[in-house]
Each structure stands twice: as C-alpha cells, then as structure tokens.
Amino acid sequence: MVNVRRCPELVVLVPTYHEVDNLPELARRVFSAVSKAGIEAELFIIDDDTQDGTEGVCKQLEREYPIRLITRTVERGLATAVLHGIRESTHEYVIVMDADLSHPPEDIPRILELLKGGADFVVGSRYVKGGSTDAKWGVFRWLNSKVATLLARGLTSLKDPMAGFFGFPRSILNEATQLVPIGYKIGLEILVKAKCRRVVEIPIAFADRVKGESKLSLKQQLLYLQHLRRLYRFRFPQAAEIIQFSAVGSSGVIVDLFFFLSLTYVARIDHQLARAISFVIAASWNWFLNRWFTFVAGRDKQWGKQWLQFLIAASVGFGVNWGSYKLLTDHVPYFTEYHLVAFFMGILLGMGSNYTLCRWFVFRPFDETIRGSGT
C-alpha cells in the first residue's frame, strides 16, 4: 500500500528576511503551543534568500519539528512571500505571523478554534480590549499606526486592520479572488478581496522584537497608500472613480485660475483670449490626470485623439454649466433672486455632463471587464 502522508489541518506561514536568530525560539514556542492544544500543524518559513544561515538553522530545526523552508530568489517582499506560502500549502487552515515573536504563538490555538467555529478571518489585535502594544512604542510609531488604521476605515471596521497576525480557512479564497498586494498589508488585501463576513478580533499583547531589525521602511508606507487606493477602487469602483474625477476637476480650477491671472496681469494679453487659453491648459491638465489616474483602462487609447475628445467634452460641460445657469435665472423665479445657487447648480450639472461623457465616450474602455483592475 502506498503511504500517503496526511496533511495536518493547520499551516503557520512566517515570511522572513534576516530573522535567523529568531527562528529557534519561534519554532519552540509555536510547537509547544500547538502540541499542548493537541493541534497538528506545520510551520512554513518563506525566506527571501537572506543567506544569514537561515538554511542551516532550518535544517537543524527540521529534525525536531515539522518545518519547511521555502527560499525565494526572484520575488521579494512580505506580502508576496505570504502569498507564496499560501500557494505552496494545502492545509485547511492558514495562520500568518511575524518571525520576530511580536505575535505570541500561544494565541494560535485560540485563533484556530474560532476558525473552526465558523469565522472567516481572525485577527490578533493590539487595539481591542485586553490587547496591548509594547510600552517602548514612541508617540510617533503609535500615531503612525493610528493614521494608517484610520485610512482603512472605509474598507473594514476592524480595530487593527494592519495586523500581521491573522488566520483564515483556505476555503475563503476561491478562484475569483485575485490577490495582488503591494507592500506589507497582505491581511488587509485578503480581508477585502475575499469578502470575509464573519471577522473576529482577539486581543494580543504585541511585543517589540528583541533580535534583528524591523524592515518597515518609509517606502513600505508609501506603498501602503498605493495599496489602499487600489483596495478602495476594488470595493467601491464607481464612487472611487467619481471622487477621483472630482479631485482632478478641482485641481483643474486652480490651474485655470493661475493661468488666467498670469496671462492677464503678468503677460498682459487680452482677458478674453487669456480666458480661452487658460481653459485649454486646464482641460489638458485634467485630461492628463484622468487618463493616468481616474480611468485606468482609458490609457490604452491613442492620446492625441483622446485629448481632442476631452476638450470637446469639457466644452460641452461648460455649455451645460452656462446654459443651465441662464435657463434657471431667466425662467425660475427662485433663481432670479438667488444667482449663486444657480451658479453652483450649473457647476454640478456641468460636472455631471463632463463625467458622463468621459466615462462613456472619452475614456470608455474597449473591454469593460478591465475597468478598475489596474493600479
């Protein structure tokens, strides 16, 4: 009879980069915690080819514990390392944690118990009652973490969505779940993309690392902003598009005003001509930003033609703006008295017309399915 090795129910994934000194203690505490709770588990270390002796230490540890070292030589980064571990494993339950013992391995059994009880996603949280961060945390690190959390408010109501200590059943990831994280926040990526419904936070005491250094750099924090933008687009494609379109439009007003004033008062050209020139410059500015940021799929179109189309759409928008102002103030008694209200209604209608034309004409993707999937 062929001896088929049965896969344990749990895999603990630990991404590592320069963590060799932490591995023996990590393995000892993880396996002590799971064996006390009668859990069968494997530990996968996903190392980005650190070459600090990780390989040798893992070989030693493998003799004692069910550990597997996966060394990546091409790809880099925390989030993709975790994804790699997910792909390389088949266990029913997955728990992700840091190597530096910031996350107490003793909480693993509790997380698994909740997952088995039907939770889709369990987070080891610093910010729920009973959770804590190390006393050594300075104001800056604390504030930094709070701001990052606040920015993710629209995506999740978790108190600690930044957590790197979390677990989920493999079944929440189906083929439709395209995980494309950038930077550090793989937990948030899974939480949003897999549309987890039963989400639970358990308190943990987050300890500062004793050995080695944190790899959380400023670059990672900037990547986080880019990642957030992507997740908001994923969750609210229409609203995200409209908000970005409006933000671009508002920046265009400033450009318009700047050139109108400079041309009139500095270059001293005729104010009506200046008005036309500044309109074209501002519209071109808007077109450029919308092509690159708002309508991702629209950048596949030939730019010259699209620029002209945008100028036409913007002129139509201006026509709607001015025309509705005229109609309202000519024919509706209320607006003959309150011109300013008509002025803003005109702006709103003009922007609406602009957006509609942009969305369905100027930047319309050739293939609707690629909409919102880009960066």
How far is the CA of 273 from the CAs of 7, 176, 268, 307, 313, in angstroms?
75, 54, 11, 21, 20
Main-chain phi, psi angles of 265, to 5 degrees: -95, -25
- Name the packing angle between helices 339-357 and 237-261 (round to 10°): 120
Determine, following the binding rule CB under 5 A, whether residue 19 of this chain makes contact with Mn ion: no
Q: Which is nearer to Mn ion, 133 or 321 (CB)?
A: 133
**Binding residue for ligand GDD, selected from 76, 153, 198, 305, defined by CB under 6 A:** 76
Q: State the binding partner of 78 from ligand GDD, Mn ion, none, CB within 5 to 8 A by kind.
A: ligand GDD
On whether the CB atoms of residues 263 and 269 are closer than 8 A, the answer is yes
* Residue 115 binds which entry of ligand GDD, Mn ion, none, CB below 5-8 Å type-dependent: none
Residue 272 burial (C-beta neighbours within 10 Å; 0-12, 13-18, 19+) = exposed
| Residue 19 interacting partner from ligand GDD, Mn ion, none (CB closer than 5 to 8 Å by kind) | ligand GDD
Q: Kindly state whether residue 30 participates in binding ligand GDD, applying the rule CB under 6 A.
A: no
Report how far residue 92's alpha carbon sits from residue 200's, in angstroms, rounded to the nearest whole number: 18
**Residue nearest to ligand GDD according to CB distances in the complex:** 164
Least Å distance, CB 202 to ligand GDD, is 16
Identity of the residue, 19 or 120, whose beta carbon is nearer to Mn ion in the bound complex: 19
For 210, counting Cβ atoms within 10 Å of its Cβ (0-12 exposed, 13-18 middle, 19+ buried), the class is: exposed
User: Least CB distance from residue 247 to Mn ion, whole Å?
Assistant: 35
Q: Which is nearer to ligand GDD, 36 or 76 (by Cβ)?
A: 76
Q: What is the rounded CA–CA span in Å between residue 9 and residue 172?
A: 15
x/- track of binding to ligand GDD for residues 137-156 (CB under 6 A): --------x-----------
Q: 244 near 294, Cβ under 8 Å?
A: yes
Among residue numbers 170 through 189, which ones bind ligand GDD (CB under 6 A)?
184
Q: Given the rule CB under 6 A, which of 51-59, 96-104, 233-241, 247-255 is the region that contacts ligand GDD?
A: 96-104
Q: Is there binding between residue 100 and Mn ion (CB under 5 A)?
A: yes
d(CA 41, CA 197): 25
Report d(CA 109, CA 52) in Å as an integer.
Answer: 31
| Residues at the site binding Mn ion, with contacts judged by CB under 5 A | 98, 100, 102, 209
| Residues at the site binding ligand GDD, with contacts judged by CB under 6 A | 15-17, 19, 46-48, 76-78, 81, 98-100, 102, 145, 162, 164, 184, 209, 214-216
